[in-house]
Amino acid sequence: MRRRTFLRTGTALAGGSLLTGCLDSLGFEKQSAWRDPPRVKNRPAAVYHPAYMEGMKMYGMGTDGDLRFALMYSYPHRFWNVTGQSNSKVVVQPDDTLHMMVSMWDAKTETTVPADVQLTIKKGGKTVDKRAPWPMLSQNMGFHYGDNVSLDGDGSYSATVRVGSVGVHRTGSLASRLSDGASATIDFEFDTDQIYDVEYREFDEKQGSRDALDPMAMRVPVGRAPAPASLPGTLVGTKSSGDAKFVVTVIEGDNRFADDGKSYLAVSPRTPYNRIVLPRMSLSMELLRNGTTVSKGTLTPALDAALDTHYGAPVGDVRSGDTLRISVDSPPQLARHDGYETAFMEMPPMEFTV
């Protein structure tokens, strides 16, 4: 009898968890335990509670200038890459050692920073893995960068994380910072047995429900968008598209976002349940008054300590009763872990009344 099959048919625990612990304590066979974890049947086209949860552990942190980095690991696991309007499953390969994750944030404001990351892993001065980890969404880790990697056995390693200048438009306290590249090298010891001490949990009743795991507490910002009431400006409203929440605010009068006294229209997309930011989208807007278009254009990806990751544009005159249409021209180009892979794909336009 397969051990995974035997354990899944055991007595359910409180809260719908069917089994919990680490792989070693649960009796899973090494090397093949993570190859085929359970998967929710009839997944909704929305965020859903996954059938299982894999924990993670910290290798270390580093700081360079304004940026702070964290390097974490978990079991190798499947995920889905997104290209344009479609996604594709990435399966665990036989030589995958672990799933390595990088988080990156502004050290002063703890704002998670979207940028292109390079990861180089060395052992004894020799490069054993070099890649650009995928920007990713995970329910228990939020927005991060990650990939399955192959190491050269147990021993001492160094991981160097590099990022170029943060190209996204920055405002407020971030406008004059994050313009230079940064890197940090984090040394770590890899012991095969350690990976089997990472928490693993399967769920019974909760799996497939319209819900999400809570992000784990790791002293690392997960990329949580501000609550709607705390956004600057006048809140226009919140709408859903593709199960993402879009919060719209208009900042009028003199402001740091727009010149010549124009107002600033800001759109803050986030996941339901945990408010995780959704970078790498393409959005556009149209403002209508009495059926006539008065403003139309692309919303620029931007980063601000008060608005966090958002999309915005200067607008000349916004009046009560105006109609605002927000269109998603491209869904988030983010790899997704279980529970997010079916959401944020088909995203119809939204209409707000100012």
**Average pLDDT along the chain, 354 residues, taken 10 residues at a time:** 29 41 47 69 96 94 96 95 95 94 96 96 97 96 96 97 91 89 96 89 93 90 97 97 98 88 95 98 97 96 97 94 98 97 98 97
Whether 148 and 272 share a structural domain: no
Q: Give yes or no: residues 108 and 176 share one domain.
A: yes
Do 133 and 253 lie in one domain? The reply is no
Q: Is 218 a member of any domain? A: no
Q: Are residues 348 and 233 in the same domain?
A: yes
Find the CATH number of the domain harbouring 264.
2.60.40.2480
Q: Is residue 138 part of a domain?
A: yes
- Cβ pair 178, 155 in contact under 8 A: no
Residue 340, Cα to own-chain centre: how many angstroms?
A: 10
Q: Clarify whether residues 288 and 321 are in a common domain.
A: yes
Q: Under DSSP, is residue 4 helix (H, G, I), strand (E, B) or coil?
A: helix
Kindly state whether residue 221 falls inside one of the protein's structural domains: no
In a domain, 210, yes or no: no
Is 16:206 a contact under the CB 8 Å cutoff? yes
- Co-location of 166 and 290 in the same domain: no
Tell me how far apart the alpha carbons of residues 277 and 112 are, in angstroms, rounded to a whole number. 9
Q: Which of 197, 304, 215, 187 is nearest to 251 (CA)?
A: 304
| pLDDT score, position 16 | 42
Domain identity same for 58 and 188:
yes
Cβ distance 119 to 68 under 8 Å? no
Residue that the structure tokens 């819900």 belong to: 211
**Is residue 166, in this structure, part of any structural domain at all?**
yes
Q: Is residue 212 part of a domain?
A: no
Residue 216 lies in a domain: no
Residue 293 structure tokens: 């278009």
Strand ranges for 30-181 from DSSP E: 52-54, 57-64, 67-74, 79-83, 86-90, 98-106, 117-123, 126-131, 134-138, 142-149, 155-163, 169-170
Supply the pLDDT for residue 218. Answer: 79
In contact, 144 and 99? CB cutoff 8 Å: no
CB 38 within 8 A of CB 26: no
- Domain, as residue range, for 20: 3-203
pLDDT at 35: 60
- Please say which residue of 203, 237, 261 terminates a domain: 203
| Number of domains comprising the chain | 2
pTM for this prediction: 0.90
Domain annotation covers residue 213:
no
- Boundary (domain end) residue, out of 157, 188, 203: 203
One domain for residues 28 and 144: yes
Residue 237 sits in the same domain as residue 182: no
**For residue 19, what pLDDT is reported?**
47
Phi, psi (deg, nearest 5) at residue 24: -65, -45
Tell me: do 26 and 133 sit in the same domain.
Answer: yes
- Spatial strand order of the sheet with 335-336 comes to 57-64, 67-74, 98-106, 142-149, 134-138, 335-336, 79-83, 86-90
**How many helices and strands (H and E) does the chain possess?**
3, 24
pLDDT at 37: 84
Among residues 203, 219, 252, the one where a domain terminates is 203
Question: How open is the CA angle 224-207-272, to the nearest 5 degrees?
Answer: 25
Within this chain, do residues 198 and 273 fall inside the same structural domain, yes or no? no
Based on the domain organization, do 161 and 26 belong to the same domain? yes
Q: Quote the pLDDT of residue 171.
A: 93
DSSP 253: S
- Give pLDDT, residue 12: 36
253 CB neighbour count, 10 Å cutoff: 10
